[in-house]
Amino acid sequence: MTEAGTARPLDRDAQFYVAGHRGLVGGAIWRALEDSGYTSLVGRTSAELDLRDRGAVFDFMGEARPQYVVLAAAKVGGILANNTYPVDFLSENLRIQTNVMDAALECGTERLLFLGSSCIYPKLAPQPIREDSLLTGHLEPTNDAYAIAKIAGILGVQSVRRQYGLPWISAMPTNLYGPGDNFSPIGSHVLPALIRRYDEAKAAGDPSVTNWGSGAPRREFLHVDDMAAACLYLLEHYDGPEQVNVGTGRDATIKEIAQLVAEVVGYEGETLWDTSKPDGTPQKLLDVSKLREIGWEAQIGLRDGLESTVAWYREHVGRLRETG
């Protein structure tokens, strides 16, 4: 099967490996699989299995022989981390993806879903961004290394389809947030960074909070539980070579999002903007027409999602990781 075909229901009792099952996305997918009745889930922490170690990955996959794989493991970070450590983001993600895909191919994995990122698209792509915008322009320079690694992952999936006829697929989520996110000062993305900043300012009684940039860029956010639901839906309803955008189809300015976070957190001080810091991509809204045609739409609104995420953050604040 090299072109688009018809997907079919998955076997709930088959071995199902979630690479990155302790991360934001992988954890949500694991919960969704459990809720959907999957009985043979397989996961390994990074301490148990280093996905950068090719021999270890092949040994593990040879023993587990998963029928299905979701590749959600990745080295991820916000604009600061991506811009500061491009070698790490390129090298580690290429190794993780190649090792898992090659091992999955060798052990006969039937269905694999590769998760990328909306940063694969050109910095100045027409908005909202369609799937066919891929490779049509220059990338955002602050995270181009990460983006190139994810683009290589998409091509890896397409190559397997062309050479071996397996129904592997790729999904490209917009900015994600939710329970299990990375709230570290260095490694976090914009939304968890804002939640932590405003919550700490509220607790300290700070009169003001300073955010990076102008607040003018527009961003789209998808709750990770919605992302997990979309992944399960795509595995059973989509079989095509082109990556599928996963998002809400709606965006807002960073300034508007910061105001909403402040409201949800209960912070009543002033918000300042440090315009000496970079804004990043001016807008990054995904066109989700293809996903809607397949039959899926996001269900969790931003305010509801923020309220549950803030509650989770406050419950776990003493046990959060402090690195990237």
Annotated active-site positions, please?
146
73: exposed, middle or buried (Cβ count in 10 Å: 0-12, 13-18, 19+): buried
55: exposed, middle or buried (Cβ count in 10 Å: 0-12, 13-18, 19+): exposed
Q: Residues 217, 275: contact at Cβ < 8 Å?
A: no
82 annotated as ligand-binding: no
290 annotated as ligand-binding: no
Nearest to 170 by CA among 131, 224, 113: 113
174 annotated as ligand-binding: yes
197 annotated as ligand-binding: yes
40 annotated as ligand-binding: no
Please name the residues in contact with 138: beta carbons below 8 A apart, sequence gap of 6 or more. Answer: 122, 123, 124
65 annotated as ligand-binding: no
24 annotated as ligand-binding: yes
Q: Residues 257, 194: contact at Cβ < 8 Å?
A: yes
314 annotated as ligand-binding: no
How many CA atoms does the CB half-sphere of 321 hold within 13 Å?
Answer: 12
284 annotated as ligand-binding: no
176 annotated as ligand-binding: yes
45 annotated as ligand-binding: no
Q: What's the CA gap between 128 and 281, in Å, rounded?
A: 13
Q: Residues 192, 322: contact at Cβ < 8 Å?
A: no
20 annotated as ligand-binding: yes
239 annotated as ligand-binding: no
Nearest to 121 by CA among 220, 255, 231, 2: 220
Residue ranges of the binding site for substrate: 197, 212, 219, 279
Residue ranges of the binding site for NADP(+): 20-26, 115-118, 150, 173-176, 189
Residue ranges of the binding site: 20-26, 115-118, 150, 173-176, 189, 197, 212, 219, 279
